Structure 1
Amino acid sequence: MAWHVFMKELKDALRDRKTIVLSILLPILFNIGLLFFMEKVFMNDEVEQVKVAVDSASDKQVTNWLEDIEELEIVSSEDPLKMVENGDAVVAISTDSDFMKQLEKGEMPEVIIQADPTSTKGGNASDLIANTLTMKKQEFIQQRLVEHQIDPSEIEPFQISLKSVSEGDDMSLYMVSIFAQLIIVLAVLMGGLPAANDLFAGEKERKTMEALLMTPVHRLHIILGKWLTISALSMISGIFSVITFIVGVNLFTENLAEALQLDKNIGFFTVSLLVGIIFFALLISSLEMVLSLLANTMKEAQNYISPVTTLAMVPYFILIGTSANELSATYFMIPFLNIYALIKQLIYGIYDATSILLVVGSSTIFIVISFLIAYVMFSKSKWVLGKG
């Protein structure tokens, strides 16, 4: 009987245009739009120039150094600080007109860099200018050491080299991991939400739940069928998100596709991700049932579920600064956190069967607990029929 209830509710849900739009079409359009946004904005190799105002009285040599920086557009001004305050430039540079003469005399001239601390462009441009001037300063130090017949290695006992632990475009892969988690988890969360609100709170509000309970179908079969319906819609939304993500990355992007390299392990990647989606959908659907049973109206159900959706994003921010190699077994045993951890691990090409089993095992435990809570509530008229 549970299967018949499931098929009936699923057909009714799929006949509703809102379900198709919210659970399937909207995630697809969102994913494609997000991929284009990532490729064009975050992975854009084009250099965007920012305006830097240099005091017209400054030494020309300093201006020449800054003009060699590709990212900067140098503008001469009698009052560079005024240009920054008016928004006509992001950084103001000023120095003495006899800057080079002071250097030759062994004096210590000053270069003043001014920018709005709240401006990202201003901060980045200031760092770029400071790094360039530091390199020039090192050149003068080396020159003075040679002039005084001092070996430069005497004051530089060792060198520092920063290298990545992996090969390839780390930043592109990092961006993929961040957005993949967001895309897939939100799709699963939102996929079954309309159905969860409608199948319990909606039926209580429409007074159709009483007629359903008067049928000879056992309540366990009814709630099982409704739960499978919500889960199926969440899974469909999640699966479509994975498909559009994989297809979108490989067909519509270059940097992201090169970083992801799905063609090497697409089979294991897809199967593992689908396993995670299925169990996450079953868990979130049982929780949505509990919250929908608590509500008496659709609006009330939305008010209950919305904070939970927000809380589901907390693990995303917890893991945003954690590398895939730092993920321990604990991450895969905590609900919600485990799906984020699994996606990040798969994106970075780490295929660990133990992690998948931990996700499945821990999710199963919490699925059983949350479903039993929902079933106990569904067995009581107080929750299943609502007020009155």
Structure 2
Amino acid sequence: MTWHVFVKEMKDSLRDRKTIMLSVLLPILFNIGLLFFMENFFLNDDIEQVKIAVDTGSDKEVVSWLKEVDELEIVISEEPLKMVENGEAVAAFSADPDFMSKMANNETPSVTIQADPVSTKGGSAQDTIMALLTTKKQEFIQQRLVEHQIDPMQIEPFQINSKSVSEGDDMSLYVISMFAQLIIVIAVLMGGLPAANDLFAGEKERNTMEALIMTPVNRLHIIIGKWLTIASLSMISGIFSVITFIAGVHLFTKHLADALNLDQNLGFFTISLVVGIIFFALLVSSLQMMISLMANNLKEAQNYISPITTLAMVPYFFLIGVSANELSTTHFIIPFVNIYALIKQLIYGIYDVSSILLVVGSSTIFIAISFLVAYMMFMKSKWVLGKG
């Protein structure tokens, strides 16, 4: 009987064009668009020039240093600060007119760099100029040491080397992990949402719930059928997101495909992610059932679910600064946190069976608890029939 309820509800849901659009087509289009955005915005190798307003009285030799940097477009101005305030340049630069002369006489000339602290481009340009001037300063220091017959190594007692713990394109992997978590989790959350609202709050609003529970079908079969319908739509949406994400990365991007490098582990990666999605979808759908049962109509259900869906994104922000190697057992036990942790771990090529088992085990416990609460609510007329 549960199977018949499930098939009926699935047919009704899939007949609705809005369900197909929200659960299947929208995630696909969203994923492809997001991949293009990541590849062309975050990982674009093209050099974007920014305008730097340079005071007319600045030493020409110092200005020539700035012209060596491809990212900087130099504009000579009598009022460089005013250009920045008017939005005509991102930073203002001025140097002493006799900068090189003071250097030759062992005096200390100065330069001034001004930028709006709120401007990302201004801050980036300011950092670029500071790095350039620091390099030039080191060159002059080395030159003076040689002139005074001092070995430059005398003032360098040790060297500092900074290296990444992983090989490959760390920035691309970071971008992939950051967006993959959002893509997949949002797809699962939104996939079954229309059906969850309609199968409980919607039926209460249409006054069809009373007729349904008056049938000889056991209420347990009814709620399981509805639950599996919501969960199946969430799974379909999540799995489609994984498929389109992997296919999109390999077909439409270069940097992301090289960084992801799934050629040898595609099977384990996909299976692990699908297993995580299935259990996450079952948990989400049981929670969505509870919320929909609390509402008396569709509008009320949407008002309840929207803030709760937003809360589901909180673990994402907690894990942004946590590396895949820092993930602990606790991250794979806590619901909602565990799916984010699993996706991040898989993206970074860490294939740990124990992590997957922890996700499955902890999710099963919380699924059982949340479904039991939803079933108890479904057994009471207060929640099933609403205020009417």
Give TM class, smaller chain. Answer: over 0.9
Residue number in structure 2 paired with 1:291 = 291
CA shift, 1:376, in A, is: 0.2
Residue number in structure 1 paired with 2:14 = 14
CA shift, 1:167, in A, is: 1.0
SS of 1:52's equivalent in the other structure is strand
Residue number in structure 1 paired with 2:367 = 367
Residue number in structure 1 paired with 2:136 = 136
Residue number in structure 1 paired with 2:353 = 353
Residue number in structure 2 paired with 1:44 = 44
Residue number in structure 2 paired with 1:330 = 330
Residue number in structure 2 paired with 1:198 = 198
Residue number in structure 1 paired with 2:156 = 156
Structure 1 distance, partners of 2:102, 2:87, is 32
CA shift, 1:40, in A, is: 0.8
The one-letter amino acid of 1:338's match is N
Structure 1 distance, partners of 2:291, 2:17, is 24
CA shift, 1:59, in A, is: 0.3
CA shift, 1:43, in A, is: 1.0
Q: Which runs of 5+ in 2 are unaligned?
A: none
1:66 aligns with 2:66: yes
SS of 1:94's equivalent in the other structure is strand
Structure 2 distance, partners of 1:207, 1:9, is 17
Structure 2 distance, partners of 1:62, 1:242, is 52
Structure 2 distance, partners of 1:297, 1:348, is 43
C-alpha distance after superposition, 1:47-96 (max 9, x if no partner): 00000011111100100100001110011111111111111110111011
The one-letter amino acid of 1:180's match is A
Structure 2 distance, partners of 1:282, 1:35, is 27
Runs of 4+ in 1 over 2 A off after TM superposition: none
Structure 2 distance, partners of 1:141, 1:39, is 41
CA shift, 1:308, in A, is: 1.0
Residue number in structure 2 paired with 1:101 = 101
Structure 1 distance, partners of 2:113, 2:22, is 51
Residue number in structure 2 paired with 1:55 = 55
The one-letter amino acid of 1:109's match is P
1:247 aligns with 2:247: yes
Residue number in structure 2 paired with 1:76 = 76
The one-letter amino acid of 2:313's match is M
Residue number in structure 2 paired with 1:181 = 181
CA shift, 1:150, in A, is: 1.6
SS of 2:76's equivalent in the other structure is strand
Residue number in structure 1 paired with 2:114 = 114
Matches within 5 A, 1:260-275: 260-275=260-275
Structure 2 distance, partners of 1:101, 1:337, is 61
Residue number in structure 1 paired with 2:300 = 300
Structure 2 distance, partners of 1:380, 1:79, is 75
The one-letter amino acid of 1:221's match is H
The one-letter amino acid of 2:75's match is V
SS of 1:339's equivalent in the other structure is helix
The one-letter amino acid of 1:275's match is V
TM-score normalized with structure 1 length? 0.99
C-alpha distance after superposition, 1:275-297 (max 9, x if no partner): 00000000000000000000001
CA shift, 1:186, in A, is: 0.2
CA shift, 1:322, in A, is: 0.8
Structure 2 distance, partners of 1:9, 1:313, is 29
Structure 1 distance, partners of 2:186, 2:373, is 24
Q: Matched residue pairs, number?
A: 388
CA shift, 1:166, in A, is: 1.0
Structure 1 distance, partners of 2:308, 2:384, is 21
Q: Which runs of 5+ in 1 are unaligned?
A: none
CA shift, 1:262, in A, is: 1.3
The one-letter amino acid of 2:273's match is L
TM-score normalized with structure 2 length? 0.99
Structure 1 distance, partners of 2:317, 2:96, is 47
Structure 1 distance, partners of 2:263, 2:20, is 30
C-alpha distance after superposition, 1:23-58 (max 9, x if no partner): 111111000100011111111100000000111111
SS of 1:28's equivalent in the other structure is helix
Residue number in structure 2 paired with 1:91 = 91
SS of 2:263's equivalent in the other structure is helix
The one-letter amino acid of 1:356's match is I
SS of 1:150's equivalent in the other structure is coil
SS of 1:262's equivalent in the other structure is coil
The one-letter amino acid of 1:160's match is I
Residue number in structure 1 paired with 2:380 = 380
Structure 2 distance, partners of 1:341, 1:5, is 35
SS of 2:113's equivalent in the other structure is strand
Residue number in structure 2 paired with 1:256 = 256
SS of 1:264's equivalent in the other structure is coil
CA shift, 1:155, in A, is: 1.4
C-alpha distance after superposition, 1:309-350 (max 9, x if no partner): 100100110111111011011100000000000000000000
Aligned-pair identity in percent equals 77
Structure 1 distance, partners of 2:365, 2:35, is 35
Structure 2 distance, partners of 1:91, 1:54, is 9
SS of 2:340's equivalent in the other structure is helix
